[in-house]
Structure 1
Amino acid sequence: MKKLALSALFVASILAAPAVAKDPTAPKAVASVKAGTVYKVQPQLSTLGWVGKKVTGQHSGTIQFKSGDMEVSGTQITGGTFLVDMTSLKVTDITDTDTNGKLVGHLRSDDFFSIEKNPTSTFKITKITPIKGVAADANNATITGSLTIKGITKPVSFPAKVGVKNGVAAASGTATIDRTLFDIRYGSKSFFESIGDKAIDNDFTLSFNVIAKK
């Protein structure tokens, strides 16, 4: 918990910086990915949490970033590629060791993420669209990119807070992912109508704080 708190404070200090360069001649609509200075993702300073819900409750946990790059032009993040170590998946809301282990094992199986066959997932930014007129502590950009899970790649888009300051680039936010797009159908009412109160939501969320340095 102490590590997460320190990471959150560090991210907050970076994200107080402007996300988009204030060049009046710059395009005002969409900031497309372009070449820039490469910043390296710092896995030890970055966090990635997940939440999955079902009819009878929910479960939560963490996964670790393995590596990644952010492209930066001035004070603007213009692109990035991120590699997630799926073998690091943990469940954090279950304290009983046996129950925890069973759920982790199930999530690692072919019913869910097929982690033995697909030990990594990736996300590549394809577009960053500034959100204008937002409060200083609010999400200031919409990130669009290609997410690959179980070897299946789909486009996703989500709001985030991004910023660059003193050689550090940061991004934080929450992405909602439809697992069925990645052939994760276990417990889905979309495919098993009679499953009743054992149904698991199609959507799960990924909450991220990513730190990258020159």
Structure 2
Amino acid sequence: MKKIFLTLAVVASVLTACKGEKKEKVETTEEVKVEKVADLNNVDTANSVITWKGTKPTGAHNGVIMLKEGSLVVENGTLKGGEFVVDMASIKNLDIPAEKEGNAKLVGHLTSADFFDVAKYPVSKFVITSVEEKEDKLHVTGNLTIKDVTKSITIPAMLMTEGGTTTFKSETFNVDRADFNVKYGSKSFFDDLKDKFIDDMMELSFTVKTK
């Protein structure tokens, strides 16, 4: 009997901890005016990727999105700027087998007007506006555009060069989709969703490689 009570206590404490866990989001501010980024077109789009994850009370989904084109400006090993154009039509789900009906259904919903409205907004974009190095980590500020909204965000990242290839890799960061007018299932826009809501926080990360 004591063992049963102990097990229940452990489960309860874990559930309480999970329920209390809150995702910290990157702060969004007004977009920063910046000169046009040099059009180097030096990003290897086949080997660059954005990972994403979305959550809801009943579970989570994750996947990837590819880049359409991009430029990474590096001088003497220092990151000076960059622009990544994201091909929103390339969004993929990875947690449901590709042959399952649910995979195509989810991707179709994400690309529809309910979420990212890819027919109207075929690309998203991240344009680096400034870079600061603190405590051996890059703090990269840039204008993130999703749909018709552009906001400035700052994300932690690293830059490394090996074998002639430079890789820009961000840590995972959380963006509030409500800031970018992505409304479906959001408690920021709708009342009485009960447990049918989808979390506003989207987990994202960049891995961008040069050619």
Taking structure 1 as the reference length, the TM-score comes to 0.75
Q: RMSD of the TM alignment (CA)?
A: 2.3
Q: Which has the higher strand share?
A: 1
Conservation of the 8 A alpha-carbon contact between 1:36 and 1:71 = yes
Conservation of the 8 A alpha-carbon contact between 1:37 and 1:71 = no
Superposed, which structure 2 residues align to 1:99-178 within 5 Å? 99-132=102-135, 134=136, 140-165=137-162, 167-173=164-170, 174-178=172-176
- Using the aligned pairs only, state the percent identity: 41
Distance 1:57 1:126, change over 3 A: same
Q: CA deviation at 1:116?
A: 0.8
Query: AA paired with 2:100?
Result: T
Q: Deviations over 1:85-134 (max 9, x none)?
A: 111111111126211111111111111000011111111000111122x4
Query: AA paired with 1:154?
Result: K
Q: After alignment, is 57-66 or 160-169 more displaced?
A: 160-169
Structure 2: which 5+ residue stretches go unaligned? 1-33
Q: CA deviation at 1:168?
A: 2.7
Distance 1:99 1:166, change over 3 A: closer
Moved over 3 A (4+): 32-39, 164-167
Q: CA deviation at 1:39?
A: 6.7
Distance 1:91 1:50, change over 3 A: same
Taking structure 2 as the reference length, the TM-score comes to 0.76
Query: AA paired with 1:44?
Result: A
Superposed, which structure 2 residues align to 1:1-214 within 5 Å? 38=40, 40-95=42-97, 97-132=100-135, 134=136, 140-165=137-162, 167-173=164-170, 174-213=172-211
Q: After alignment, is 75-84 or 88-97 more displaced?
A: 88-97
Conservation of the 8 A alpha-carbon contact between 2:86 and 2:124 = yes
- Please name the residue that 1:12 is paired with: none
Count the aligned residue pairs. 176
Q: Deviations over 1:146-191 (max 9, x none)?
A: 0111122111111111134554321112232111111101111122
In the alignment, the residues of structure 2 paired with residue 130 and residue 102 of structure 1 have an alpha-carbon distance, to the nearest angstrom, of 42
Distance 1:165 1:35, change over 3 A: farther
Comparing both chains, which one has the higher relative contact order based on Cα–Cα distances under 8 Å and sequence gaps of 6 or more?
1
Q: Highest Rg: 1 or 2?
A: 2
In the alignment, the residues of structure 2 paired with residue 33 and residue 120 of structure 1 have an alpha-carbon distance, to the nearest angstrom, of 20
Conservation of the 8 A alpha-carbon contact between 2:65 and 2:86 = yes
Structure 1: which 5+ residue stretches go unaligned? 1-31, 135-139
